[in-house]
Amino acid sequence: MVINKIAPASSPDPLITSTSVTWLWSTNRPALGYVDWRPEKRGPKKGRINETGWSVTEHSLTATDLVPNTTYIFKIYTRDILGKKVTTPDLYVRTSPEGMVLGASTSVASITPPPVQTGIVFYTQAHRNLPLEQAKAQELRAYLKQRFGGVVPPISRDNWFTLIRAFTYGGYPADALVQAVRFGGKTVHPAIFWSAWRNSADYKNYINR
């Protein structure tokens, strides 16, 4: 069994926040896994999170309750349906400083050897382009700051990821994302392209309320 397509792998990355890190990876056979972590320096608590349910080839787990601006050492463990186990090398990630806007992190994530940054599907895209997501996150952050008087409004982690994916893969213009921040709700759809969503009855009913 092989583990690949591991993310995050560079910074900034919307998968890294001040208190959480979301790990994505793939296996060439159905498997279940877990992620454990410990601080590089003594102090913050250790942790572990397990996958549950059916064995899969596309994996996602989120480590939460982390300390801002702190370096953690992560490891990913998987076991396939034949009982074969594979473990990654140590993965070093530094969480974002407290209060930093999601997607604008200067934290560092590293792995040796460098992983392939593909394999996640959004808006029917066959590959995930992390460098493009990172660039779009910076672009969106700057645009929101411009439109909201120099301050980026608070945005939850899940909503920020939705906006970045819509901006990167869904064809959503920056102004549509500004509306999503301002009004919330159905102004951005996490799976339907902007070209179709903007003409839908649901969108028109919502935006005209």
pLDDT of residue 49: 92
- For residues 159-188, average pLDDT: 84
**Strand ranges (DSSP E) for 85-153?**
85-87, 91-94, 109-110
User: Is residue 118 assigned to a domain?
Assistant: no
Tally of CA atoms within 13 A in the half-sphere of 169 that contains its CB: 22
For residue 174, give its domain range.
130-207
CATH of residue 33's domain is: 2.60.40.10
- For residues 125-151, average pLDDT: 81
The answer to whether residues 12 and 74 belong to one domain is: yes
- Would you place residue 86 in the very low, low, confident or very high pLDDT band (cuts 50, 70, 90)? very high
The answer to whether residues 39 and 77 belong to one domain is: yes
Q: Give the integer Cα–Cα distance in Å for 147 and 59.
A: 36
Q: Give the integer Cα–Cα distance in Å for 172 and 26.
A: 28
Find the angle CA(162)-CA(189)-CA(191) to the nearest 5 degrees: 85
User: Does the reported pTM lie above 0.75?
Assistant: no
User: Is residue 103 assigned to a domain?
Assistant: yes
Q: Which tops the pLDDT comparison, 200 or 173?
A: 173
- For residues 143-152, average pLDDT: 87
**Two tokens, residue 139:** 């672009």
- For residues 127-144, average pLDDT: 81
With contact defined as beta carbons under 8 Å apart, do 169 and 190 qualify?
no
Total domains in the chain come to 2
pLDDT of residue 98: 74
Which one, of 181, 92, 171, lies nearest residue 136 by Cα?
A: 171
Classify 48 as helix, strand or coil. Answer: strand
pLDDT, one tens digit per residue, over 175-199 is 989 888 887 656 788 778 888 888 8
pLDDT, one tens digit per residue, over 2-41 is 888 888 865 557 788 888 888 888 888 899 999 999 998 8
User: Is residue 116 assigned to a domain?
Assistant: no
- For residues 126-153, average pLDDT: 82
User: Is residue 121 assigned to a domain?
Assistant: no
With contact defined as beta carbons under 8 Å apart, do 9 and 109 qualify?
yes
